Structure 1
Amino acid sequence: MNSPQGNTAWIKAMPVVFVLIWSTGFIVARYGMPHAPPFSFLVVRYFLSILCFMLWIQLARVQWPQSRSQWLHLSVTGILMHAGYLGGVWAAVKAGMGSGLSSLIVGFQPVLTAIWLSYSLRGSDQPGVSRRQWLGLLLGFAGLLMVVWRKLTLGSPMDHVTPVNMAFAVGALLSITIGTLYQKRFVQPCDVRSANTVQLLAAFVVTLPLALAEPEAMHWNAELAGAMAWSVLGLTLGGSSLLYILIQRGAAASVTSLMYMVPPTTAIIAWLLFGETITAATLAGTALTALGVSLVVRASPR
C-alpha cells in the first residue's frame, strides 16, 4: 500500500513529470514527420493507444463512465484536445510552419485561458485570475518568446507561413484552450484510463476520414516505429493521462501555464540529444518562464 507521504510526493511531482514528457513531443515530430503524413500518423497512434488502454482497463477491472452525458462530454474533449490540438500542430508543421512559430502560437494558450476566465467569472463569487497570476502569465509568455526567438529569426529557409498552416496552428490553439476549459467545466471525476479511452475513440473517429484522404503513404522504418512507440506509451498513456489528472485537480489557468515550460524544456532536451545550440537568451527565457509559471501556480495567500 502506498504511504500518504509517497502519494503527496507523487502529486507534487506530477507537473514536472508532465512537462518532461510533453516536451518530448518534438522527438516524435523530428523522427516521424518525414516518414508519415500527419493524420495517418495520428490515427495509428490513437488506435494503438486505445488497444493499450483497453488491455489496461480489462486487467485492472476499471469502471467505465456511467452516464450518457459523461460519454458525450469526454468525446467532445477528445475531439478538441486530441484530434483538434495534435492534428492542428502536426498539420501546420507538415505544411511548412517552423517549430518556433508553431510553439509560440500554441504557447498563447495560458493567456487566452486567463482572458476567458477573467471575463466569464466577472461578477461571480468564484475567484478569477489575480494580478499576481496575470504578471506570471505575461512573464511566462515573454520568456517563451525569448526561447523561440532564435528559431523565428534563424529558421530554415523552408519555413514559411501561409494561410493554410496558420489556420492549422490557430485551430490547434483554440482546440487545446476550449478543450481544457470544457473538461474543467463539464467532465466529472472518473478513472483516467477509461476517460482517456473514450476521448481517443472520439478522436479516432474524427481523424480517420482525414487520414484516408491523405495521398501520401506511411513509410515504416526504425525511426517511424520508434516515434510511434514513444508517442503511444509516453505521450498518450503518460502525458495525456497526466494532463487529464492535472486539469481535474487544479485551476485551469494554473494548469495551462505549465505549457509555457514545454518549449524551454524541449530546447534543453534537444541540446542533450542532438547538440542543438542553447544561447544566453534561451537560458534567460527559461528562467523567466519558470518564474512566471511559479507566480501562476503558487497558492494564493489566505
Structure 2
Amino acid sequence: MTSERQRQAWLFAMPLLFVALWSTGFIGAKFGLPYAEPFTFLFIRFALTLTLLIPLAHWLSGEWPQGPRLWGHIAVSGLLVHGGYLGGVFYGIYLGMPAGLASLLVGLQPLLTAGLAGPLLGERLSRRQWLGLLLGLVGVALVLGGKLDPGGALFQGFGAGALLAILVALVGISGGTLYQKRYCTGMPLLSGTVVQYLSAGALLGLGALLFEERSVTWTPTFALTLGWLVMVLSIAAILLLMALIKRGEASRVASLFYLVPPVTALQAWWLFDEALPPVSLAGMALAIAGVALVVRGKPAPIGKQRDGA
C-alpha cells in the first residue's frame, strides 16, 4: 500500500516538476548572460548537451529517424524550436528584458499556435478558445503598458530590440510546433532531439561567429549555470517529458504550461528583485487565463516542446 501511494504521489508530482524545471531556463539565462554573449552561450550549451545526449539516445533508444526527408524536416523544426526560440529568448534577456516578462510573452505560444492552427492545419477553434485568445492579447497589452517608461525610453530597462528578439522567439516556438506537428510525426523523441540540437547549434554557432566576439568569462557562477541548463533542462527535462508521454500524461503537461510564467516571475522576484506594477500583474493574470482557456479547449496537447530557455 505504501509503495502504491508513493507511486501515485510521484505520478502526481511529475507534471509539476516538469513545469518547475522548465521555468528555471529563463533564470539560467539571466544568471549566465553576464559572462558570455547569447549565441556563444547557447552554442556551448548545445555542444555539451550533444556530448551527453548522443550516447544516451543510443543507449536508451537506438532508434533514429528513417530517411533523409524526415531528417531534413526535424532539422528545420530544430532551427525554429531551439534556434529561433532560445536564440530570441537569450538575446532579449541579454538586451535587458526581465526574465519574468520574457517568460510571459513566449508563454503565449499556445495562443499563437491555436490561432495559426486553423488556417495552416485545418483545426477549428471553439468559442472558449477565441475568448482565450482575446484575453491573452488584452493581458499582453496590459503587461507591456505597465512597463512603458513615460520618461523617454520605450520600456523600463530595455528597448525595442529586446521586444523584437522575444517576438522572434515566440514566432519560432509557435512555427516550430506547427511544423513539427505536420511534418515530424515519425520523429523518435531522443534521437530526434539530437538532430534538432545539431541544426540549431550550427545556426547559433554561425551567429556567434558572425556577430559576437565569442569571449567567455569562466566563473563558478557561469559554470554552475551552464551545468544546470545542460543537465537539468536539456537532459533531465527531456527524459521527464519522455516518462510523462509514456505514462499518458502529455496532455496534463500541456495543460500546466500556462503555470510557467508565474513560476518564473516568482523565481525572478526572489533572485533578482524583478517587480511588475499592479497593471502588469493584472495583465499577467488575464494572459494566463487566456492560455488556460485555449489549452483546456483543445482535445490534444499543443505540440511537443523540447527545451526550456
Do these two structures clear the TM 0.5 threshold for a shared fold by scoring above it?
yes
Q: Post-superposition shift, 1:271?
A: 3.6
Q: Which moved more, 1:165-174 or 1:84-93?
A: 165-174
Structure 1 unaligned residues grouped into runs of 5+: none
Name the residue aligned to 2:55: 55
CA distance in 1, matches of 2:170, 2:276: 26
Q: Deviations over 1:21-50 (max 9, x none)?
A: 221122212210100001110001101111
Q: Is the 8 A contact 1:143 1:285 kept in 2?
A: yes
Matches within 5 A, 1:1-302: 10=11, 15-99=15-99, 102-103=102-103, 105-120=105-120, 127-143=123-139, 150-151=146-147, 158-162=157-161, 165-213=162-210, 214-239=212-237, 255=254, 260-274=258-272, 276-277=274-275, 288-298=286-296
Q: Deviations over 1:96-136 (max 9, x none)?
A: 445466445534433322221222355xxxx5111112223
Instruction: State the one-letter code of the partner of 1:136.
Output: G
Q: Which moved more, 1:274-283 or 1:67-76?
A: 274-283
Q: Which moved more, 1:208-217 or 1:218-227?
A: 208-217
Q: Deviations over 1:35-92 (max 9, x none)?
A: 0001110001101111111231233252111222221111111111111111122223
Q: Post-superposition shift, 1:139?
A: 3.2
SS in 1 for 2:65: coil
Q: Is the 8 A contact 2:21 2:233 kept in 1?
A: yes
CA distance in 2, matches of 1:69, 1:13: 38
Q: Is the 8 A contact 1:107 1:144 kept in 2?
A: no
CA distance in 2, matches of 1:95, 1:274: 16
Structure 2 unaligned residues grouped into runs of 5+: 300-309
CA distance in 2, matches of 1:153, 1:107: 23
Instruction: State the one-letter code of the partner of 1:87.
Output: G
Q: Is the 8 A contact 2:241 2:250 kept in 1?
A: no
Q: Is the 8 A contact 2:20 2:260 kept in 1?
A: yes
CA distance in 2, matches of 1:96, 1:295: 31
Q: Which moved more, 1:17-26 or 1:234-243?
A: 234-243
Q: Is the 8 A contact 1:38 1:90 kept in 2?
A: yes
Q: Is the 8 A contact 2:100 2:268 kept in 1?
A: no
SS in 2 for 1:229: helix
CA distance in 2, matches of 1:172, 1:243: 21
Residues 300 and 97 of structure 1, relative CA distance in 2, 3 Å threshold: closer
Residues 105 and 275 of structure 1, relative CA distance in 2, 3 Å threshold: closer
Residues 55 and 28 of structure 1, relative CA distance in 2, 3 Å threshold: same
Residues 105 and 288 of structure 1, relative CA distance in 2, 3 Å threshold: closer
Q: Post-superposition shift, 1:192?
A: 1.6
CA distance in 1, matches of 2:14, 2:283: 23
CA distance in 2, matches of 1:203, 1:91: 15
Identity of aligned residues (%): 40
TM-score using structure 2 length: 0.75
Q: Which moved more, 1:47-56 or 1:285-294?
A: 285-294
